[in-house]
Every structure is written in structure tokens, then in C-alpha cells.
Amino acid sequence: MNLRKYLAFGTAIAMLAGTAALAGCSTEETTETTEEVTTEEVAELEGSITVQGSDTLLNVATAWSEAFMDENPGVDISVQGGGSGTGIAALINGTADFANASRGIKDEEITEAEANGVEPVEHKVAIDGIAVVVNPASEVEELTMEQLGAIFRGEITNWSEVGGADAAIVLLSRDSSSGTYEYFKEEVVAAENEDAEYAASAKLLPSNQAIADEVAANEAGIGYIGLGYLTDDVKVVAIDGVKASVETATDGSYPISRFLYMYSNGEVDGVMKAYLDWILGDEGQQLVEDEGFVPLP
């Protein structure tokens, strides 16, 4: 009797999945119609743009699209997250007009794009400053890049080795798929030796917020988070004597900051160009700052 119940339930789920798949097909069809509209140059901006990609950029990308649509009622912009890889794949498949990425496009992806007749063009849209944070109760105020690298490689394991209390260091990192993880690895962990890895004991947390929360709760914790996630519950550690802030990231004196990108297929024109110019203009860059990133200089 029970088995039959499960079978019935299974079929119900399968049917639901079927309808969901059908719905998926129909949305793909609608996005394909966008390009015809975007090529027309009209005085009153009209058209629709599909943006997909990086979760780091998701908040600011949503803010951009909302503000831009307010000013240009004829324009329809849809923004989706999913990750840099997802966004670039969508650009290559032609289901997105812009791919948001928190990392540069990889050679493998360029090859695949060219095979599909897509020519990815890179646009820098903002700067992300990455602050190194510890618990406010920690005595450590400053680290050198070498010390920071050694800590995240697992070579320095006790806070007393860098002027703190005698306690084991709890390493908190972004997940290995995050663009921030790769950036931090290149600039800090493997700065001197390309083959160096993060310590295996580093806890990999799914978001900036998760790291901020754990550092705020754990006196032995150290982690790295985007400037937008800084609160009074965590303490910023100066790196080589410079504290992370919008000012130090803009003037280049803070060593750990990176660009965030949008990719398009070929050079942009029409409504896409208008949108990109607006993002790079004063209003767009003001939103960058409001969302906790650093505007382009």
C-alpha cells in the first residue's frame, strides 16, 4: 500500500518537473528576441537587456537595473545571479546580453566562446576592496603581506606568533568557487610560490556575510570580506600598514583590491551601450559606492 503511495507521489513530482522544463523552454525563447530591438537607435530608449552572473555583483547590478529602468521606462532589464561561470556560459550560449563576473574570463571560456561565434569584450565596472578582518577582542592590529600569506597557508597557526594571544588561528575563507577566493589566493596565499595552497583546515564559507558573522562570534577567527560587508562587529587589520577603505582602495595604496567586470558579445551599441555608459557614469558609480564597492577612479 505504502509503495503505491510513493509511486503516485513520484509521478506527481515527475509531472511537475515536466511542466517546469516546459516553462524553462518558453523563457529561453523570449530572450532570443532581444537583439532585434537593441540594434535600433532611437531617441527614446527602448529594448530589453538580460544580465546574468556573479553573485558578488548581484546587489549592485540589481540596483543599477532598477535605477536605469526608472529613468527609461521603455527599457526592460532582467538581472540574475548564479555565479560568474554561469553568467559567462549564458553569454556564450546567447541567453544573456551581459555576463557579470567577479573574475577575468578564463582561456578555456574564450576558446569555447570563439567556437560558438561569440567574441567576449571585457568592461571594468567597479573595484572590490577586500578587507582582512578579525574579532574586535583580538590584540592584532597589523599584519604584513608575508604574515598574512603564511597564516592562510597554515604555516603560522597560533596568534602569539604575530603578536596576539596564545590561541590557535581559525582560518575563514570564501568557498573555492568564489572569484574572491581565487583572487586572494593569487595575491596573498600563492604570491611568492605559484604552487602554494590554502591550508586544508581553512573553513570555506558560502558568503561574505557568513565570514563576517563567524569572525564577530569567534575570538580566534580571521577572514577576508568585501568592503561592503564591514560592520562594527569586526575589526579591520592593516596590511603592510594600510587599512582597507574606499579611499585606500581608490588611490591604490591598499594592496588587496580587484576589478569587477561585465562581458558583452562584441562591442556594445544601442540600448546596451547606453546602459553601460550610464553604469560607468556618475549615477552608476554612485550606486557602486552605495553598495559597498569602490567606484572606478
Partner 1 sequence: MRGLIYACGWLAIIILGAIAAFLIHNSVRAIQEAGIGTMLSTTAWYPTSSPGKFGLLPLIVGSLYVTGVALLVSVPVGVGAAVFISEFSGRRVKDVMKTIIEFMAAVPSVVYGLIGVAVLIPLVKDIFALDSGMTALTGGVVLGIMSIPTVITISEDALHAVPADLRRGSAALGNTRWQTTYKVTLPAAGSGIFAASMLGLGRAIGETMAVLMLTGNAAVMPASVLESVRTMTGTIAAEMGEVVQGGLHYSVLFAVGLVLFIITFAINLAADLVLERQRKRWRR
- Tell me which residues touch partner 1 (CB under 8 A): 2, 7, 10-11, 14, 17, 55, 81-86, 88-89, 106, 108-109, 112, 167-168, 170, 175-179, 181-182, 185, 195, 197-198, 200-206, 210, 213-214, 217-218, 220-221
Shortest approach of partner 1 to residue 137 CB, angstroms?
Answer: 14
Nearest to partner 1 of 13, 42 (CB atom):
13
Residue 291: CB minimum distance to partner 1, A: 20
**Cα(60)–Cα(288) distance, integer angstroms:** 6
- Report yes or no: 129 and 253 within 8 Å, Cβ to Cβ: no
- Closer residue to partner 1 in complex, CB, 221/295: 221
Question: Residue 54's CB: how many other CB atoms inside 10 A?
Answer: 26
Q: Which of 263, 202, 246, 198 lies closest to 51 in space, CA to CA? A: 263
Q: How far is the CB of 183 from partner 1 (least distance, A)?
A: 11
The C-alpha cell of 150 is what?
Answer: 603564511
Please identify, using beta-carbon distances, which residue of 46 and 187 lies nearer to partner 1: 187
CB nearer to partner 1: pick between 55 and 97:
55
Beta strand 120-134 pairing with 221-226: antiparallel
Which lies closer to partner 1 via its Cβ, residue 171 or residue 268?
Answer: 171
Among residues 106 and 124, whose Cβ is nearest to partner 1? 106
Distance CA 55, CA 83 (A): 5
Query: Is residue 116 within 8 Å of 102, Cβ to Cβ?
Result: no
Residue matched to cell numbers 578555456: 108
Least gap, CB of 171 to partner 1 (angstroms): 8
Q: In Å, how far from its chain's centre is CA 286?
A: 18
Beta strand residue intervals within 47-165, DSSP E = 47-53, 75-82, 98-101, 120-134, 142-143
CB of 82 to partner 1, least distance (A): 5
Rounded to a whole number of angstroms, the minimum distance from the CB of residue 178 to partner 1 is 7
Tell me 198's DSSP state: -
Residue number with CB closer to partner 1 (9 or 144)? 9
The 8-class DSSP code of residue 135 comes to: -
Nearest 5°: the CA angle 65, 68, 71 is 150
How many whole angstroms separate alpha carbon 82 and alpha carbon 101?
10
Shortest approach of partner 1 to residue 174 CB, angstroms? 10
